[in-house]
Amino acid sequence: MSIYVKITVLVVSVAILAIAGFSFTGGEASAGEPLPGFAFIELFTSEGCSSCPPADELVSRIGKEYAGKPVYILAYHVDYWDRLGWKDPFSSAQWSERQRQYSRWFHQNGVYTPQMVVNGKTEFVGSDESKLRKAIMSPGTPASTPLNLQLKSLSPGVAVINLTFPKVDGQELYLASVQKSATVKVTRGENSGLTLPHTNIVRSLQQVAPGIGQVSLVLPKDFDPRNWEIIGFVQNTQTGEILAASTVNSAPRLN
């Protein structure tokens, strides 16, 4: 069963570029046929929704299939299912708000789970594999904004990143801390009795001021570089379109 919640929306911006290694690199495919562009996939999901596990499983398969290629996955666990019998440990009102912001960009009357958004330009039911594959093969917008991130140091609770990102009207840069995997046994709600695996769970999202210098990214308390990465992304504030994307998967040692 899916849930449909009517809510108003704010406008947010998000961008692309990820770093959990010693340097920033581009997102070129390492093997196989090159994609026509990049694919930035955002899944809005919840452990309390019985329709969501197939969508979670789909992005997990897609992530493995397109490993090393310019396909980026962020899974946001919304909180509006929490009142219906099971509190998702990864849920956040911030992720519900981000989904509502997309609802405004898409001129929708509400939000639902599971929902997939690709490149900030198209949305559909998150378990629809054919639509996801079609969206992945649709050309992304070539990066037009000079963007360079390099990890300088990583300490418990903080990542210091060298940043070059000139201010551009209508664009904003964000960095997301993403937990690559987790498994949760659900004991109540629609998925009671199931053990649910998760992929690329967004745990924090921080806007970064443009300029040239350094930025301190606050990391979740349980951040472990062996199972996490830092993803940045640039997003058009008027349309929601994602303008560039990249990620680094190597794991630096904590200082």
Residue 69 falls within a domain, yes or no?
yes
- Mean pLDDT for the chain overall: 82
Residue 1 falls within a domain, yes or no?
no
Per-residue confidence (pLDDT) for residue 84, from 0 to 100:
93
Residue 3 falls within a domain, yes or no?
no
Tell the residue number behind the tokens 């969206």, with chain if given: 135
64 exposure class (CB count in 10 Å sphere: 0-12, 13-18, 19+): exposed
Residue 4 falls within a domain, yes or no?
no
pTM, whole model, 2 decimals? Answer: 0.83
Q: Of 226, 143, 180, which Cα lies nearest the Cα of 63? A: 180
Return the amino acid letter for 148: N
- For 92-105, the pLDDT digits (tens) are 999 999 999 999 99
Per-residue confidence (pLDDT) for residue 253, from 0 to 100:
41
**Cα(177)–Cα(131) distance, rounded to whole angstroms?**
27
Range with the lowest mean pLDDT among 62-66, 113-117, 185-189, 209-213? 209-213
Number of structural domains in the chain? 1
Number of Cβ within 10 Å of residue 8's Cβ equals 9
Q: CATH number, domain at 67?
A: 3.40.30.10
Count of CA atoms in the C-beta half-sphere (13 A) of 92: 13
**Cα(230)–Cα(181) distance, rounded to whole angstroms?**
14
Rounded to 10 degrees, the C-alpha dihedral 101/103/106/108 comes to -150
Residue 252 falls within a domain, yes or no?
no
Give the domain extent around 27: 9-246
- For 21-65, the pLDDT digits (tens) are 323 333 333 335 677 778 999 999 999 999 999 999 999 999 999
The better pLDDT of the pair 10, 141 is held by 141
**Cα(9)–Cα(73) distance, rounded to whole angstroms?**
23
Confidence label for 8 from pLDDT (cuts 50, 70 and 90): very low
For residue 155, is pLDDT > 60? yes
Range with the lowest mean pLDDT among 26-30, 44-48, 200-204, 233-237? 26-30
The better pLDDT of the pair 252, 43 is held by 43
3-class state of residue 65 by DSSP: helix
Tokens read off for 10: 């704010």
Confidence label for 89 from pLDDT (cuts 50, 70 and 90): very high
Q: What is the 3-state secondary structure (H, E, C) of 199-212?
A: EEEEEEEEEECCEE
Return the amino acid letter for 106: F
- Pick the most confident of 86-90, 145-149, 150-154: 86-90
Residue 63 falls within a domain, yes or no?
yes
Per-residue confidence (pLDDT) for residue 140, from 0 to 100:
62
**pLDDT (mean) for 222-226:** 88
Tell me which DSSP letter residue 145 carries: S
Per-residue confidence (pLDDT) for residue 169, from 0 to 100:
87
3-class state of residue 97 by DSSP: helix
Residue 2 falls within a domain, yes or no?
no
Residue 192 falls within a domain, yes or no?
yes
Sequence length of the chain is 255
